[in-house]
């Protein structure tokens, strides 16, 4: 079942955009999760503090979500091995593309970066191709 949730989606998009704006205005940093997480341990002390706070927010936010019921629970319909493979592929792709969808897709596109436009189009086209192959050629899922 697919649920169309325009108001929740709008609010989520506004929160993402606003937090991205705050990050660039206050810290002069792009809110690219792969870059933030990837440099947590190699950053100097001042940079490390906000990076650790950002990662803590990523880790703690699902707990806040669970406490804020009656929001609908998300059901993941993939096995743990597939989730591990998917996570490793996302990490590899983020390194290969010098960024992730949050860095290129949200921050880069909002700054009219041609490099981010190419990266985001590549992410989206490959994702669509893989889903199509997965469902129609390999007949999985």
- pLDDT tens digit sequence for 115-138: 999 999 998 999 899 889 988 998
**Which domain does 58 fall in, by range?**
6-137
Provide mean pLDDT across the span 43-48: 86
Q: Which two tokens stand for residue 115?
A: 């490099």
- Determine, yes or no, domain membership for 1: no
- Determine, yes or no, domain membership for 53: yes
Instruction: Please give the Cα distance from 86 to 130 (Å, whole number).
Output: 12
Provide mean pLDDT across the span 17-43: 88
For the chain, give the mean pLDDT.
87
- Determine, yes or no, domain membership for 40: yes
Provide mean pLDDT across the span 69-85: 82
pTM: 0.72
- What is the total count of domains within the chain? 1
């Amino acid at each position: 079942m697919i649920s169309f949730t325009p108001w929740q989606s709008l609010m989520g998009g506004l929160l993402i955009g606003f937090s991205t704006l705050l990050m660039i205005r206050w810290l002069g940093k792009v809110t690219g999760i792969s870059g933030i997480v990837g440099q947590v341990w190699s950053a100097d002390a001042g940079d490390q503090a906000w990076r650790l706070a950002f990662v803590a927010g990523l880790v703690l936010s699902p707990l806040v979500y669970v406490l804020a019921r009656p929001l609908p629970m998300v059901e993941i319909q993939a096995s743990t091995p597939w989730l591990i493979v998917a996570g490793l592929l996302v990490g590899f792709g983020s390194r290969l593309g010098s960024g992730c969808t949050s860095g290129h897709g949200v921050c880069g596109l909002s700054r009219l970066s041609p490099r981010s436009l190419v990266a985001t189009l590549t992410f989206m086209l490959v994702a669509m191709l893989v889903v199509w192959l997965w469902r129609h050629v390999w007949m999985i899922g």
